[in-house]
Amino acid sequence: MVSTTSFDHWSDQQAGLTECARVLRPGGHLVLVDQFSRLLAPTLVTSRRGKARTRRRATRLLLRAGFCSPRWHRLYAVIINAVTAAKPS
């Protein structure tokens, strides 16, 4: 399952990730690409409060949704990153 640069717009990121985990087969992988950076932290107190804009927050949401082994990858510049996570077998 792949999501590119839409995660920031999900109204309920936790519910969306939980649904991704539900529909993936055991051992399946999620690839999530979006803007994740400490540079975006100021947006957490203004327009994007409650959104996962940092790796730390996104990792917490992934683990809470039931994914395991999140691995981060820098894709473009400083803020575009990808995380891959697996649904346990």
What are the φ and ψ backbone dihedral angles of 27, each rounded to 5 degrees? 85, -5
Give pLDDT, residue 35: 82
- pLDDT, greater one: 68 or 46: 68
Sign of CA dihedral 11, 52, 69, 72: positive
Q: Rounded distance, CA 39 to CA 68, Å? A: 26
Query: Quick check: helix, strand or coil at residue 54?
Result: coil
Tokens, residue 63: 């683990």
- pLDDT, greater one: 66 or 7: 66
DSSP state of 25: P
Confirm if 68 and 84 have CB atoms less than 8 A apart: no
Is the domain 2-87 a CATH 3.90.1150.10 member? no
Q: With bands split at pLDDT 50, 70 and 90, how would you rate the model's confidence at 81?
A: confident
Average pLDDT over residues 63-79: 89
Domain boundary assignment for the chain: 2-87
Give pLDDT, residue 46: 61
